[in-house]
């Protein structure tokens, strides 16, 4: 049972990290969509 709990915890940790990283990328695209085209280079890098 302990191995199952540890595996489940690791799975949820990895899924949470993936969701946070994807939200970060989505917010970056949202920000790039709200600025003028000539300013996007400075915001991406």
Angle at 42 between CA 39 and CA 45, to 5 degrees: 145
- 21-41 pLDDT, tens digit per residue, is 999 988 888 887 776 666 656
Question: How far from 4 is each of 15, 28, 31, 40, CA to CA, in Å?
Answer: 16, 36, 41, 46
E strand or H helix at 39: none
- The per-residue pLDDT for 1 is 78
pTM of the predicted structure, to 2 decimals: 0.62
- The per-residue pLDDT for 26 is 87
Question: What mean pLDDT is reported for the chain?
Answer: 84
- In sign, the C-alpha dihedral spanning 29, 32, 38, 41 is negative
Q: Where are the domains of the chain?
A: 19-45
Residues of the chain with pLDDT > 90, as a percent, come to 49
- Report the Cα–Cα distance between both ends of the chain, in Å, rounded: 47
């Amino acid at each position: 049972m302990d191995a199952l709990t540890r595996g489940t915890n690791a799975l949820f940790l990895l899924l949470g990290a993936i969701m946070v990283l994807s939200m970060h990328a989505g917010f970056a695209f949202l920000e790039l969509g709200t600025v003028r085209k000539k300013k996007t280079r400075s915001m991406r890098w």
